[in-house]
Structure 1
Amino acid sequence: MKKNSLKKYYLIILLLSVIVGCKDKDTSSSSNNDMETSTDSERGNDSDSGDDLDVKTSNFSESDKSLICLWPKVGLRDIAGRKGAKYLTTIYFGETVKFLGEKETASDNKDYLKVELSDGQQGWVYDYLLSENGKLAVLKNTLAIYKRPDVMEFVGNKFGRGDIVVVLNESKGDWQKVTGFQKENEGWIQNSDNFVYDELDIKLAILYNRAINEDSQSKKQKKLKLITDNPAFQQSSFIDIVQNALIGDDNDAYGEDDFSELDASISSDQLYISTDVLNARSNPNSEEDNVVFQLEKGDVCDIIEKGNFETIRDNSSNWYKINFNGNEGWVFGYFTSKK
């Protein structure tokens, strides 16, 4: 009798252990998946669910302190920092959130802000990835960027027609301070008549920006076509930008970019850029905020070092440390002649 009781006892303990173990595994898996689905802009994983095509409009009052997301995707988490934090949802480029007045420095020595989304969900985000006290606008025309509100302070960069900017609360005469996508371009521009605040135009521009920043050509074309096929956007004055991008993609698909002369002229320790714009980074990691400068299609770079082989969003290649006109950085080989 004692033996049977003892056996039953051990069986119950074993069964409980299995159940607890399975539960822990599911929790761990869920947590890991959350971390992989969306990170603080550093990760660009995407799904074809179409959720990121939804441009959320702000329902906050003017008295609320709002923040605008400047990165393609920013992870909202339940606590400040990444260590031990649970992913809640994704904030997309151009989305406005409300700052709830709480700021915390996490164990990674970064400052995080507590925010509320338009649907009422609350959580924490890395403060660098959002812009405070600004208003979204689309630019009608190409405009030069200046370091200060002075024509002598041209920095060499320009915003293009259809670019999304955050118009900051700093102005001087007809000068206005603005910041752009991923804060890559920030400074003063002249002629504020070029700012378009129309909600339809802003939504189109945001979706267009998300589309052209897709590394996967098929996803890029799919998202561009969704914009052009949407009857509402036919009324936008910027629909031609999307249509031209689709035509350009079709031309590229048929091989109209001829690099044969470059192929013949560069040496084995050089490479050229084969995509429109490519970020050069301080280290071979596309998941960090580490862009040091940008390269354009056809730029020829000297190779300093060949890095690790990696697959990023179904695109596989080595990383390369390059020198371009005295500037050094790492580029992903898939978007170069070393593809």
Structure 2
Amino acid sequence: MTRINWFPGHMHKARKEIAEVMDEIDLVIEVLDARLPHSSENPLINQLRRNKPVLKLLNKQDLADPGKTDDWLDYFNDQPDIQAIAMDQTQLKLIKQIPDICKSFAASRVRSGRPVRAMIMGIPNVGKSTLINSLLGRRIAKVGNEPAVTRHQKRYSVHNGLALSDTPGILWPKIEDQDSGYRLAASGAIKDTAIEQDLVAGYAGQFLIDEYPLILMQRYKLDRLPDNADELFDALGRKRGCLRPGGHVDHFKAADILLNELRSGKIGRITFETVVEWEQKRIAAEQAAAEEAAASSAQEKDE
């Protein structure tokens, strides 16, 4: 697999700006993609928030696998100073409750009559700007179905006691886990120019074959489950008329259909990752680090 690095200059600037104003913030609102809750969780936020409480909003839950979303909510809510809620932009009643939830994290400021200061953070294209517009009840933040629409930090005020700061969607300098990189790209968090589309579509296609075969077959009316992504694009392309002269399937067009329908939810409600998977990866990483430290220590003794 190709390792994905994507850290534009404005994101480096945003990281510095966030660090500078964090002392003035009472809590962080982190917007995650419910389809990839861990991969869309920016490790830089834990470094920058300085033990501030966090409200994690698993946005786009209407596109995600409901059972797996429940597992992720349990996982996050078991952690100290974190509250997690699943939502989507149609749940206006729930969105209106967010200011009160934020105020519960800073009771002393509420008692003193001062606004609770919240910074909204998240990776690109996760729905931050749409959420801000919903909270404010008017179109203030620029919205776009592509990464990196917000480029500069902005401050807004909510009249019901919440002072809200918006930040650019920031990715971390290097995406260490290859699965995370491809999942972010498949979801649309990373611009299509950052990695070849056929690689991303191939990853997504194989994932659907392995994890959501029935949904895949129903969506594209397949008679049998393809063995691999190439077979999937061939079958999908023939179903959708993606043909070149001579009857050859245009796999690029077929891949584009798959990615667009995956991102829009037309394929069905899917989640790219599970809590169990990431716990296994964490344990394996800790074991590898321990073995590396032991080997290094042994080498020092031999020298």
Q: What TM-score do the two structures reach when normalised by structure 1?
A: 0.22
> Could you say which structure has the higher helix fraction?
2
So what's the TM-score if we normalise by structure 2?
0.24
Going by fraction, where is strand more abundant, 1 or 2? 1
